[in-house]
Amino acid sequence: MSDLQPNSLMLEIKELIIEALGLEDISVDDIGDEQTLFGEGLGLDSVDALELGLAIQKKYGIKIDADAKDTRNHFTNVASLAAFVTAKQAA
């Protein structure tokens, strides 16, 4: 388990998004911490959500319940994902 500061965790998650989804045309600087990842924001879709969920589970060794109603909220933006990963690792 990594004890990352929130900013470095968010940076790591941005790198993971780019890597897992093959977004070669954007850099970590192009993704805002509070930028919406889906729809109007970064433009990710449900397939991207699945890919990203799998990548996060694999990288951080946490379980994501796709059917839990709050799961969608965790994937709102990088900041919420970082908070989710931190909370899951602490659990």
Rounded Cα gap, residues 50 and 47, in angstroms: 5
In total, the chain counts a number of residues equal to: 91
Averaged over successive runs of 10 residues, the pLDDT of the chain (91 residues) comes to 70 97 95 95 94 96 88 94 94 85
Is 49 contained in some domain?
yes
Token pair listed for 36? 């919406």
Q: What CATH code is carried by the domain that includes residue 70?
A: 1.10.1200.10
Is 1 contained in some domain?
no
Is 27 contained in some domain?
no
Q: Which domain, by its residues, includes 59?
A: 11-20+35-90
pLDDT of residue 67: 83
pTM over 0.85: yes
pLDDT of residue 2: 47
Is 71 contained in some domain?
yes
Place of tokens 């919406």: 36
Is 6 contained in some domain?
no
Instruction: Specify the number of domains making up the chain.
Output: 1
Is 74 contained in some domain?
yes
